[in-house]
Amino acid sequence: MADKKQTKPQTPLQKYAQRFLEHLEIEMNRSLRTIDSYHRTLSAFFTWGGLRTPADITAEKVREYRLYLNRKDNGRGGTLKKNTQAYQAIVLRTFLKYLAKQDVAALAAEKIEVGKAPDRQVDFLEFEEVERLIAAADGTDQKSLRDKAMLELLFSSGLRVSELVNLDRGHLNLDKEEFSIRGKGSKLRIVFISPAAKAALKAYLDKRTDVDPALFVAYGKKGLVNRANAARESKRLTPRSVQRLVKSYAKKAGILKDVHPHTLRHSFATDLLVNGADIRSVQSMLGHASITTTQIYTHITNERLKEIHKSFHAKRKRK
Q: Hey, which residues are catalytic here?
A: 160, 184, 262, 265, 288, 297
Q: Beta partners for 182?
A: 188
> What angle, rounded to 10 degrees, do the helices at 32-49 and 12-26 form?
160
DSSP assignment of 217-277 equals B---TTSSPPGGGTTSSS-BPPHHHHHHHHHHHHHHTT--S---HHHHHHHHHHHHHHTT-
Amino acid 150 reads: M
Q: Which of 154, 152, 193 is nearest to 172 (CA)?
A: 193
Q: Which of 271, 300, 299, 275 is nearest to 286 (CA)?
A: 271
Helix (H) or strand (E) holding 288: none
What's the rounded Cα separation, in Å, for the pair 77 and 96? Answer: 33
SS3 178: strand
SS3 95: helix
